[in-house]
Amino acid sequence: MKVTKEAVNQYYQKAGIVLTEDEKERIQIMDYGLGRLDELGLQLFVYVNTDRYCAKELVLFPEQTCPEHRHPPVNGEKGKEETFRCRYGSVYLYVEGEKTCAPSVLPPREDIGHFTVWHEIRLSPGEQYTIPPNTKHWFKAGKDGAVITEFSSTSTDEHDIFTDPRI
């Protein structure tokens, strides 16, 4: 699948999210330097990111995985706290906690060694979950892809720590 800003916007439309033409141009496509966007990546649009709060729309294409990471303390703050609210499709979120014995989904086979948390939370449209600061997490879309609204404290993505040393 060729990932384009237009393809991302089509998912926003499925979720009833309308972006202006200027906003569509500001859609970000993240492959984390791995060059395997169909398997590992994330697409997003940032509405606002101030020193107090942040709001984003995330898109995962079918069975696409956002790699495991955490949001560490930055500048005396305890790290980003974020709430994911599913708007379309389904998303499987994995966080620190009691291991789910039979996870519903797995990361790409060749990358599984870079995923260490296995407490599963499945989100469907209208469901949400809040991830505490500095908590390892990763997430993967179901077969139809997913649109997730993220509400959080200030986002300092450049400080995120990924489990995969290639990122």
- Over residues 5-34, the pLDDT tens digits come to 999 999 999 999 999 999 999 999 999 999
Q: Are 39 and 106 in contact (CB under 8 A)?
A: no
**DSSP per position, 45-60:** EEEEE-SS-EEEEEEE
What kind and span of H or E run contains 139?
A: strand 137-152
> What pLDDT is stored for residue 3 in this prediction?
85
What would you report as the CA-atom Rg of the chain, rounded to the nearest whole angstrom?
A: 15
pTM of structure: 0.96
Tell me if residue 111 falls in helix, strand or coil.
helix
Q: Which residues, 6+ apart, have CB-to-CB distance to 107 below 8 Å? A: 40, 65, 67, 68, 114, 115, 138, 140
Residue 132: exposed, middle, or buried by beta-carbon count in 10 A (0-12, 13-18, 19+)? middle
- Over residues 67-80, the pLDDT tens digits come to 999 999 998 889 99
> What pLDDT is stored for residue 113 in this prediction?
97
Q: With respect to CATH, is domain 5-162 assigned 3.10.180.10?
A: no
